[in-house]
Amino acid sequence: MILGYKYPMKYLILSKKSRALFGIGIVAISIGLISKKIINYPA
Give how far the C-alpha of residue 5 lies from the chain's centroid of Cα atoms, to the nearest Å.
Answer: 23
Evaluate whether 11 touches 4 at the Cβ level (below 8 Å).
yes
pTM: 0.52
The whole-number pLDDT of residue 1 equals 47
Specify if 23 maps to a domain. Answer: yes
CA angle 20-30-28, nearest 5°?
Answer: 45
* Per-residue pLDDT tens digits for 4-38: 456 666 766 778 888 899 999 999 999 998 888 87
| Residue 8 placed within a domain | yes
* Residue 34 falls inside a structural domain: yes
Residue 2 pLDDT exceeds 60: no
- For residues 43 and 16, give the distance between their C-alpha atoms in angstroms, rounded to a whole number: 40
- 29 inside domain: yes
Give the total number of structural domains in the chain: 1
43 found inside a domain: no
Which domain, by its residues, includes 18? 3-38
Q: Is residue 27 part of a domain?
A: yes
